[in-house]
Amino acid sequence: MKKCCVCGTEIPTGRLKILPNTKTCVNHSETSRYVGNIISQGDVEAGESFQEFEVIRDKETADQFDHYKSRLGSYK
């Protein structure tokens, strides 16, 4: 039986069946949603191929980001 790397308790069998590589118990799992935002990218025509990506982890900022994104609409 695997143990949680945070608290040392045994990880339930059902959790291990669904997430075989998990390292934490349910209480210490990261369940919040992450949102990403591309903040800069290279110029493809100039042969630059990079993207700088911001990861937003807190719910309030993610909600604000979703609100702004919905107001802007699709830019693709």
**Domain presence at residue 60:** yes
Tell me the whole-structure pTM to 2 decimals.
Answer: 0.41
Nearest Cα residue to 16 out of 7, 6, 35, 29? 29
Q: Answer yes or no: are the C-beta atoms of 25 and 53 closer than 8 Å.
A: no
**Domain presence at residue 49:** yes
Q: Which domain holds residue 31?
A: 13-72
Contacts by 42-46 with C-beta closer than 8 Å and gap 24+?
Answer: none
pLDDT in tens, 24-43: 988 888 765 667 777 788 88
**Domain presence at residue 38:** yes
Q: Answer yes or no: are the C-beta atoms of 6 and 29 closer than 8 Å.
A: no
**Domain presence at residue 35:** yes
Q: Which residue has the higher pLDDT, 54 or 25?
A: 25
Distance between CA 4 and CA 24 in Å, rounded? 4
**Domain presence at residue 1:** no
